[in-house]
Structure 1
């Protein structure tokens, strides 16, 4: 009885490893597969289930923490920067604050000095006495 449980458990574990390797291979991008092209890995996992799955897990799978492919130089992984740690974003915020201050400074003198406010507009005919748009032109 104990021997049957061991055989069933081992078989279930092997099937789980094969299914995991196959799904992991499908979900991995083609540029991240190591040693062989991705379609070759899928064929190996299907044709040689136990050996192919183990080979994928040890030789074909992308390395943990690395997005580089086999044979290419390791590129530094891009880590997330908080907005207050990003120099470019801080310069952008500084420039934006300066623009807002300048805009407020341009509007502030007119609001503080009542004599400098715009005078109410006069009647358009009073501003330009030569304007003849509202007058009738005699016909000749």
Structure 2
């Protein structure tokens, strides 16, 4: 953690540790507040909202910006989506039948459309494509 020119920068280890604390804060609040459980609000969302409000309050009162090193985010995202993929079974996918094939086709089509849109807009602004 370092402070330079009005920016409080948290390194990767501290950022992940703070993320875990925020997750547990969200779990504690969700266990206490019944309406959050009733509407199935995830603990990370609750904790993240509280943390973002606190960071926003720090900025509004002190003009100190809070910055997190996001280097570990990419690794953690790969782990997260890998565990989701590991839980998928071929039997479940095959039982999806025609609706799953239609959904998959639409999803792939929109992926290509999204990439084409991004490349087109980037080329309009002379950005690397």
Same fold (TM over 0.5): no
Which has the larger share of helix?
Answer: 2
Q: TM-score, normalised by structure 2?
A: 0.21
Asked which structure has the greater CA Rg, the reply is: 1
Specify which structure has the bigger relative contact order, considering alpha-carbon pairs within 8 angstroms and separated by 6 or more residues: 2
Q: TM-score, normalised by structure 1?
A: 0.20
